[in-house]
Structures are given as C-alpha cells and as structure tokens.
Amino acid sequence: MERLYFGTAGVPLSSPEQSSAAGIARVRELGLGCMELEFVNGVRMSEKTAVLVAGKAKEAGVRLSAHGPYWINLNSKEPDKVTASRVRILQAARIASLCGAGSVVFHAAFYHDDPAEKVLARVVENLRLVREELDSANISVTLRPETTGKPSQFGSLEEVIEVSRLVPGVLPCIDFSHLHARSAGSFNTYEEFCAVLQQMEKSLGREALEDVHFHVSGIAYGPKGEKKHMILAEADFDYRALLQAFKDFGVRGLAICESPNVETDALILQQYYDSL
C-alpha cells in the first residue's frame, strides 16, 4: 500500500443507488480511497457482478476489502456449524477475490464458556483448513479476524495477533472502537494507540503496519462492552489521538469508517489525518 486510505463500510449513504458499483463511483466522487464490501448477511453477489465490480474499482482507483457474514462461529458446539462457518469464509473470500478485494474481515468465534486458549486453538485449526483450501484454489485474499466489541466474543487484541502469527495468510483487522468498547473505556489515548501498533509490529513485523485494515467509528458501550456504533461527534472516542498515532507510525493500508453517517465521518477522518 502506498499510504493509508480512508473509506466507507459499505455503499455511501449519498450514493444514488445502493449497489457496489454505484458505491465505488460515489466513494471516488467524495475523494475517499477505499470501500469495504458488506457480505454481512450472506454472500449474495454473483461471479459476473464481482468481475464488473473489480473493473469499476480499478477504473476509479478505489481499493476494496470485504466483510464476511456475521453467522460465523469457529467454536460452535455443533460440528456442522463450524463447517458452515468455514464455507462462509471461503465463499466470501472467493467473491472478494473476483472483486479485486485484498482482504476478508470476519468475527471468528464466541467463547461459550470455553477457556480462551482452547478457543484460540480451534480458531487457528479451522483457519488453517480455510487457508489450505484458498491456497489450493490460488485465492490470495488475506483473512482478517477482527477485534470484537464484547468480552463474550473471541477477538481480543492479543488473540487476533496470535492467530495472525500462527496462520500464514492471516492478518488482524483492528477495530479500535471495538477495543475501546470491549475494555469499557480504555484504548482511548495516544499512548495506548501507539502500544497497539507497537504490539503489531513486534509480533508480526513491520510489513503488518504497511498492509493494515482498521475500523474506526464512534461507539457506545457499557460494562458488557459494545452497544452500538455512533457518529464521532457524539462519542467519547478520541479519534484525533488515534490518527496522530497512525501518522507517527507511518501505517499504510485501509481505514474503514463504520459510523452511522458513514461517508461524513470517513471524510472527517481523512481530512484530519491529511492535516497532520
């Protein structure tokens, strides 16, 4: 990646059509640099459409990623659901690759009262199986388990970094707002943000900071973690300190805004970052 690009989670609200192709065009018109395709309710894009989307993105110079379905749980008690979860990741990766997207983000698992180390081992085992299938099909999309917003979900900073360290072709999606909510208010200072980036670099190498996938938004939270996403102006999340850390570490890749007013906050993030 040449720099840190800012963009939207899904099609911008101001797009004249809520299609991926129209969304890419609107992202370009807004002066943003990337868009995350939302497969959260299932992969419903045909191969033909995916190829068209890839062409539109290349023409517009908009970089793409994708978010996999929500219904993924690699620690389910039911083996069939684990298998189905792997299939959902594979489907998302296959279509994302045809779109020209570089990464697929997903929430990997729930703990279900299992020890964290046992869940980590299961996630690693299953992602190795997924990675083997993708590699055999020459699909090079990066798999990105995401930091999650509730302590009941697998996805602490340490866990997603460790999975990435153990499975080739996997890198973390760091959702900084989720980290803030998961910890009920921590991860909200320049020093804490720098510590996250330092941990990534120490565990995964400098190259991990040169191909990042970050999520940023306002967020509401309580003792049990995330409640809902909010616009930046209404939340306590210190995005300015975060962007300063990004600038100081020279990170490159994609920063996806998930605020409800998605393109408005994405532009706020980009404009502030560019002013530093």
Instruction: Give tens-digit pLDDT for 168-209.
Output: 999 999 999 999 999 999 999 999 999 999 999 999 999 999
CA atoms of 47 and 28, how far apart (whole Å) = 23
pLDDT at 41: 94
pLDDT band at 1 (very low <50, low <70, confident <90, very high): confident
Tens of pLDDT, residues 76-95: 999 999 999 999 999 999 99
DSSP labels for 182-223?
Answer: HTTS-S-SHHHHHHHHHHHHHHH-HHHHTSEEEEE-EEEEET
Average pLDDT over residues 126-131: 98
Domains and CATH numbers, the chain: 4-275 (3.20.20.150)
| Model confidence pTM above 0.85 | yes
The 10s digit of each residue's pLDDT in 20-65 is 999 999 999 999 999 999 999 999 999 999 999 999 999 999 999 9
Tell me the pLDDT tens digit for each residue of 234-261: 999 999 999 999 999 999 999 999 999 9
